[in-house]
Amino acid sequence: LVTRMRPFTSTIFAEMTALATRTGAVNLGQGFPDTDGPAGMLAVAKESIDGGLNQYPPGPGMPVLREAIAEHRTRYGTAYDPDTEILVTVGATEAIAASLLGLVEPGDEVVLIEPYYDSYAASVALAGATRRTVGLVEEPGTGRLGLDVQALRDAIGTKTKALLLNTPHNPTGTVLDRAELAEIARLCVQHDVIAITDEVYEHLVFDDLEHIPLATLPGMAERTVTISSAGKTFNCTGWKIGWVCAPAGLVGAVRAAKQFLTFVGGAPFQPAVAYALRNELPWVDELRASLQNKRSRLAEGLTEAGFAVRPSEGTYFITADVRPLGFTDGAQLCRELPERIGVAGVPVQVFTDHPEQWQHLVRFAFCKKDEVLDEAIRRLRALS
């Protein structure tokens, strides 16, 4: 194995899901829903297979999907040309990797917000670039994990080629607000940095908060590669339909890399996702409301079990401080939990370069049936 990939031999999700399966634990580790997406969308996928859409789709993605993506982005007031400014990818994961491979030179610096989704560091390494991390900080009073503006100012400079940003944020559930995004935008413009934004949880925002795409801020449309995918919005994480929206020059660079990673993907799913983007947003509103209740249900349960939860404003994750229960190391606790009480979570420290600063937090996923959450809560109570 090449040196730059040595730190990335296994993923925490594979590890924790295997452990949960082996021990019969309730799996609140890997984030995937345990119910299906909207019936109309599923029907279109089946019809597409029956109708013979089983060969390579066009390189940039099927026109019907690119048009639906362009239409969907108008909800934020942004306009993309489906022919030149949109690219369909194999999930957001490929979109992120292809963006870095197509836009970042070996040796360039890429700034990540810490904790970061696990594929970011691996994709930066694949591109031969160097990552620089800026940690979220706990806000006094609320415990919200917010942007450390001063740390971001210190990190972005002449060596920075790109900033890879995720909001709503996995694993913390933080939704960046307009003031935070304005600081990010200002620094990107000032230092001529490309922003790559991972917005896969764009619809999963709670308590009347708003998802604000960075591309909508002044000076950002021309330098932002906006990434999203269908998996989280329509409960179809296994379909792996994602997309990139950006000015034609940037999309062209991403496409150059993408075409030699996978060429194309997911032919029968593309019209299904197009259908969902056009017709199933009311279903997504119900999903959001249901997830908000699940967020509160798990937050209360974890609190009763003795954890100190941090606010989760979006996504389907919540983080919990294990120290009030007398533990210090979340990673060790996560390794023991399945066997000990039959619940799996994910230690936040694996998403960071500074495990010692993050070892008190464990991430739990709440995109599960209420009875599954209740069973997990019942088991977690055995800890105190």
How far apart are the C-alpha atoms of 68 and 278, rounded to whole Å? 6
Q: What is the DSSP letter of 205?
A: B
Q: Cβ(191)–Cβ(160) under 8 Å? A: yes
- The least CB distance from residue 183 to ligand PMP, in Å, is 21
Burial tier of 381 (Cβ tally within 10 Å: 0-12, 13-18, 19+)? middle
Query: For ligand PMP, which stretch binds (CB under 6 A), given 55-63, 103-111, 144-152, 236-244?
Result: 236-244
Residue nearest to ligand PMP as judged by C-beta position: 91
Report the DSSP beta bridge partners of residue 213.
none
Q: Which two tokens stand for residue 279?
A: 């017709």
Please count the other Cβ atoms lying within 10 Å of the Cβ belonging to residue 293.
Answer: 13
- The least CB distance from residue 229 to ligand PMP, in Å, is 3
From 19, 27, 28, 30, residue interacting with ligand GLN (rule: CB under 6 A): 30
- Contact characters 117-156, ligand PMP, x per CB under 6 A: x---------------------------------------
Q: Which two tokens stand for residue 13?
A: 């999700």
Nearest 5 degrees, angle CA 110-CA 113-CA 119? 70
Q: How many residues bind ligand GLN (CB under 6 A)?
A: 5
Burial tier of 66 (Cβ tally within 10 Å: 0-12, 13-18, 19+)? buried
- The least CB distance from residue 94 to ligand PMP, in Å, is 7
Q: How many residues bind ligand PMP (CB under 6 A)?
A: 14
From 82, 231, 314, 338, residue interacting with ligand PMP (rule: CB under 6 A): 231
What's at 322, amino acid-wise? V
How far apart are the C-alpha atoms of 124 and 240, rounded to whole Å? 21
- Contact characters 221-260, ligand GLN, x per CB under 6 A: ----------------------------------------
Query: With respect to ligand PMP, which residue has the nearer C-beta, 93 or 160?
Result: 93
Q: Examine residue 31 and tell whether it contacts ligand GLN (CB under 6 A).
A: yes
Q: Which helix (H) or strand (E) holds 308?
A: strand 308-309
Query: With respect to ligand PMP, which residue has the nearer C-beta, 317 or 327?
Result: 317
Q: Which two tokens stand for residue 63?
A: 């026109």
Our separate counts of H helices and E strands in the chain read 13, 15
With CB under 5 to 8 Å by kind, the binding choice for 199 among ligand PMP, ligand GLN, none is none
Chain positions 162 to 221 lying near ligand PMP, rule: CB under 6 A, are 166, 170, 198, 200
Q: Which chain residues interact with ligand GLN by CB under 6 A?
A: 11, 13, 30-31, 170
Q: Which chain residues interact with ligand PMP by CB under 6 A?
A: 31, 91-93, 117, 166, 170, 198, 200, 229, 231, 237, 240, 242
